Amino acid sequence: MLLYPGMTSLDFVGPQHMFSSLMGAQVHHIAKSMAPVTSDSKLTLLPTTTLKRAPRDLDILFVPGGGDGTLAAMADPELLAFLADRGSRAKWVTSVCTGSLVLGAAGLLKGYKATSHWASRSLLKDAGAIETEGRVVRDRNRITGAGVSAGLDLGLTLVGMLRDQAYAETVQLLAEYAPEPPFNAGSPRTAPEAVKQMTEGMFPDFNERARTTLARQVKLRRT
């Protein structure tokens, strides 16, 4: 599981809870150094290893999303080289929210169906991916989750795949994961139009910068 400054904490913590329920598995929190990593909500997380020391072969490679921190990750040669290398051998290459744009910048989604946060999902086409709507989208060994809270679904999906349904259902019950949100605005299909427009207004700068970064990374891989 990749850690980088400015990532969205729930993108990481939701899947991490599910992955840590896999008895016998070792979950690595991987960063560029062993220094604490501060998320966009100021929650600070501790790496367990570094890019250079991380295992060569991973069952799951996971990337969280975010805002400005994600843009920086998409332009970080060392981080992208790590993802490209480990992603070439990992059994499952996964992400949540705009983490899929980081996978795209590393060249790991070309020709694959993938999803992202709804307000940035169209950018996946700039990475050569096939933009696909869905809470969790699986195409061969690529599994991507939609925005933020979809990380819980992605993590639970992988638990079911790596163990079995009964195991995953036990994890779900232990977490009492049975969402009953107090409002029905968790999707652009159900949110009030004014709320949707306000939320969309938060993304133009991010999307433009992400599009430019993706174009640059695609060009670099061609040269």
DSSP conformational letter for 130: E
The C-alpha atoms of residue 62 and residue 111 are separated, in whole angstroms, by 19
112 in catalytic set: no
Superfamily of domain 9-222: Class I glutamine amidotransferase (GATase) domain (3.40.50.880)
Active site residue: 73, 79, 97, 129, which one? 97
DSSP conformational letter for 7: B
The C-alpha atoms of residue 34 and residue 96 are separated, in whole angstroms, by 23
The C-alpha atoms of residue 181 and residue 177 are separated, in whole angstroms, by 12
DSSP codes of every residue in 131-142: E--SSEEEETTE
Q: What letter represents residue 126's amino acid?
A: D
pLDDT of residue 223: 83
Find the helix or strand (DSSP H, E) in which 103 lies.
Answer: helix 99-105
Angle, alpha carbons 82-212-220 (nearest 5°): 45
pLDDT of residue 112: 98
Are 57 and 30 spatial neighbours (Cβ–Cβ below 8 Å)?
A: no
State the pTM of this model.
Answer: 0.98
DSSP codes of every residue in 15-71: HHHHHTTSTT-----EESSSS-EE-TTS-EE--SEETTTS-SS-SEEEE--BSHHHH
Tell me the mean pLDDT per 10 residues along the chain, length 223. Answer: 98 98 97 98 98 98 98 98 98 98 98 98 98 98 98 98 98 98 97 98 98 97 88
Burial class (CB in 10 A: 0-12, 13-18, 19+), 14: buried
